[in-house]
Amino acid sequence: MSTSASPPDRPTGNPSRRARRALTGEIVRFAAVGGLGVVVNFAVFNLCRALTSLPVVRCSVIGTVVALLVNYLGFRYFAYRDRDKRRPARQFTLFVVFSVVGLVIENGVLYAATYWFGWDSAVQNNFFKAVGLVIATGFRFAVYRTWVFRPRKPEDEHGRGPATTPSVTR
């Protein structure tokens, strides 16, 4: 007698559809956290430009750093809350390293527009900061999901390492 039920340890449904749904959810959570980061980034950047005499790229770097701190908390505790958390120091170190690369991408575009091409109005500064941010965001999404906030392995469901069986010695 044959049954059509799946074994209890295998999820039902189309694996491709589940993978797409999971990726879509991840992108939505990443965008929600990133959206907050964008607001923080541009708010700090424009406040710094308006209230200080610091150069525009330095104000942008300050805005980016503040936003990255907000983003780390949002990614760790919301967007990637289901990911491996066994090595937080490693995770934070990788986040900082890849964030610095993203910071250079983001602010490199603004630097080039401002100092190489002379596009230095408030509107131009915000536009080229946004262009750099879009490019850096693609990079950050790829590396954060792959290297920083790594998926748990199946045996890590409860945050533990791989299951081991005790060895018997005689």
pLDDT at 22: 83
Token pair 């946004």 in the structure block, residue: 130
Task: Answer whether residue 167 shows pLDDT above 50.
Answer: no
* Mean pLDDT for all residues in the chain: 86
pLDDT at 170: 45
CA distance 102 to 2: 55
pLDDT digits (tens, 9 = 90+) for 103-130: 999 999 999 999 999 999 999 999 999 9
Going from N- to C-terminal start, the domains of the chain cover 23-152
- Dihedral sign of CA atoms 118, 123, 125, 128 in order: negative
Contact 85, 91 (CB under 8 A): yes
pLDDT bucket at 80, cuts 50 / 70 / 90: confident
pLDDT digits (tens, 9 = 90+) for 16-69: 888 888 889 888 998 999 999 999 999 999 999 999 999 999 999 999 999 999
Most confidently modeled range among 5-14, 52-61, 147-156: 52-61
